């Protein structure tokens, strides 16, 4: 891979304005973007407008993609793909709930800067990553360095929900032309080449209603539910055998997160209900395909039915299969980023893994492109109270993105 000249890298890095980066991050945190279903004013729209206005001011070409009412993706780009490559810097504009503001040491949407840390909901996940990728692209633009391909910025909606933003983006022309993506999620600037996958299995159990004093007259779905719960350790073991071991990720886990019976209607002490339900949170590492995972869940359901004659135990994935992703170290994007971390921070790249799924999961599954997850913010602080980002990590991220883009797109 031809490397861009030292002069080009130096020129682009010198165009990063750290004060501007900090203030942009704080501005984005101050615009709450918790999505509250049923409240049309609580969406990503205001943050998307801010992102759009900032990028327009920098002179970027962009398009706003209305994914759902009041839920726009903002997609900007620099350079033309031509015979070169197209690289995406990806971030999401939604944040999770702040919970009880009284539990925070600093107000969740005040973006207070204290001792080198910016506090607030989204400080790590991921207004900081979003700001870092915007400032990185602006620095390249301001430096006048000509890219040998196209750099795309995607500020997408609904990552914390059903990932509608990235699913839509994958169907657009600019999305389909991508060759690789950097997911700017909080991974303490480690290079994460693997992400765990997830399947949420919605279990529906049917029995037959009867009097509690005459259980022999009915089929108790709670018995089948109990049998299913007993099958879960075996299911977990089978999935662990199917999935690849990883140095950076915990092995597969099967965790029941909801159980309910009766599944609907009135609770009564002397009535065996006709239905029960459960949700399983199943995390995976790479290896098996969707049908192999589905076969194992099917088997657990069959075992539960066998132990409760007359019942039916069925399942469906809640929002499809989000399979684990993995890219190899010899991918051009990985090589570009390893060199970039050293150049931008003076340190060797640290490899890591993403414990959950991200928009990158969808990009990898739908477009088949290599993705690397790397962004500012401590991995564990996401979704917690007193969420923060270290300003030094934020600045490092912007530098890593600049050099990665120049390396990958070959000036």
Tell me the window of 61-69, 118-126, 195-203, 236-244 that interacts with Zn ion (CB under 5 A): 118-126
Cβ nearer to Zn ion, comparing 11 with 382: 382
The neighbour count for residue 348, using CB atoms within 10 Å, is: 9
Contact (CB, 8 A) for 207 and 310: yes
247 conformational bin, left if phi > 0, alpha if psi -120 to 50, beta if neither: alpha
- Of 142, 141, 166, residue with least CA distance to 156: 166
Cβ nearer to Zn ion, comparing 129 with 273: 129
Query: Is residue 126 at the binding interface for Zn ion, with CB under 5 A as the rule?
Result: yes
Tell me the window of 119-127, 163-171, 246-254, 384-392 that interacts with Zn ion (CB under 5 A): 119-127
- 125, 187, 190, 390: which one contacts Zn ion (CB under 5 A)? 125
- The residues in 174-213 that bind Zn ion, with binding defined as CB under 5 A, are 185
Contact (CB, 8 A) for 205 and 401: no
For residue 185, the minimal CB distance to Zn ion (Å) is 5
Q: What is the DSSP letter of 269?
A: T
For residue 367, the minimal CB distance to Zn ion (Å) is 19
For residue 156, the minimal CB distance to Zn ion (Å) is 11
Cis bond upstream, residue 136 (ω within 30) = no
Cβ nearer to Zn ion, comparing 52 with 185: 185
- Output the residue with the shortest Cβ distance to Zn ion: 125
Cβ nearer to Zn ion, comparing 126 with 222: 126
Three-class secondary structure of residue 38 per DSSP? coil
Q: How far is CA 264 from CA 200, 229, 275, 308, in A?
A: 20, 20, 7, 20
Cβ nearer to Zn ion, comparing 159 with 231: 159
For residue 376, the minimal CB distance to Zn ion (Å) is 12
Rounded to whole angstroms, how far apart are CA atoms 210 and 338?
Answer: 64
**Size of site (CB under 5 A) for Zn ion:** 3
Tell me the window of 109-117, 124-132, 249-257, 329-337 that interacts with Zn ion (CB under 5 A): 124-132
For residue 183, the minimal CB distance to Zn ion (Å) is 9
Query: Is residue 387 at the binding interface for Zn ion, with CB under 5 A as the rule?
Result: no
For residue 385, the minimal CB distance to Zn ion (Å) is 16
Range list of β-strands (E), 3-43 = none
For residue 125, the minimal CB distance to Zn ion (Å) is 4
Cβ nearer to Zn ion, comparing 126 with 411: 126
Cβ nearer to Zn ion, comparing 126 with 205: 126
SS (HEC) of 207-254: CECEECCCHHHCECHHHHHHHHHHHHHHHHHHHHHHCCCCCCCCCCEE
CA angle at 353 for the pair 352 and 357, rounded to the nearest 5°: 150
Residues in contact with Zn ion by CB under 5 A are 125-126, 185
């Amino acid at each position: 891979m031809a490397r861009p000249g030292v002069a080009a890298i130096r020129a682009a890095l010198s165009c990063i304005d750290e004060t501007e980066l900090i203030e942009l991050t704080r501005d984005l945190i101050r615009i709450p973007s918790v999505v509250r279903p049923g409240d049309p004013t609580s969406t990503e729209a205001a943050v998307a407008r801010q992102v759009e206005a900032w990028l327009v001011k920098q002179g970027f070409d962009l398009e706003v993609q209305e994914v759902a009412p009041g839920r726009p993706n903002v997609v900007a780009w620099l350079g033309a793909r031509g015979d070169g490559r197209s690289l995406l810097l990806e971030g999401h504009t939604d944040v999770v709930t702040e919970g009880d503001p009284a539990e925070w040491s600093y107000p969740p949407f005040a973006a207070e800067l204290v001792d080198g840390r910016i506090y607030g909901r989204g400080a790590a996940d991921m207004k900081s990553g979003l700001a870092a990728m915007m400032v990185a692209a602006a620095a390249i633009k301001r430096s006048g360095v000509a890219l040998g391909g196209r750099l795309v910025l995607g500020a997408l909606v609904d990552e914390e929900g059903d990932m509608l933003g990235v699913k839509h983006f994958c169907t657009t022309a600019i999305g389909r032309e991508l060759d690789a993506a950097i997911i700017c999620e909080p991974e303490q600037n480690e290079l994460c080449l693997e992400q765990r996958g997830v399947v949420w299995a919605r279990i529906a159990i049917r029995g037959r209603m009867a009097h509690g004093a005459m259980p022999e007259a009915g089929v108790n779905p709670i018995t089948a539910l109990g049998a299913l719960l007993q099958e879960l350790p075996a299911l977990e073991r089978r999935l662990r055998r199917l999935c690849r071991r990883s140095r950076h990720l915990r092995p597969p886990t099967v965790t029941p997160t909801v159980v309910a019976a009766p599944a609907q209607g009135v609770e009564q002490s002397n009535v065996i209900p006709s239905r029960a339900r459960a949700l399983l949170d199943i995390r995976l590492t790479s290896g098996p395909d969707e049908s192999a995972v589905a076969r194992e869940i099917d088997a657990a359901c069959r075992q539960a039915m066998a132990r409760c004659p007359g019942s039916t135990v069925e399942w469906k994935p809640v929002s499809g299969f989000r399979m684990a992703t993995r890219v190899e170290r010899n991918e051009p994007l990985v090589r570009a980023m390893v060199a970039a971390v050293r150049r931008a921070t003076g340190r060797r790249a640290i490899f890591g893994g993403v414990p959950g799924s991200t928009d990158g999961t969808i990009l990898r599954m739908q477009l088949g492109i290599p993705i690397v997850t790397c962004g500012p913010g401590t991995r564990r602080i996401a979704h917690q109270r007193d969420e923060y980002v270290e300003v030094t990590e934020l600045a490092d991220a912007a530098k890593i993105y600049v050099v990665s883009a120049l390396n990958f797109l070959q000036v």
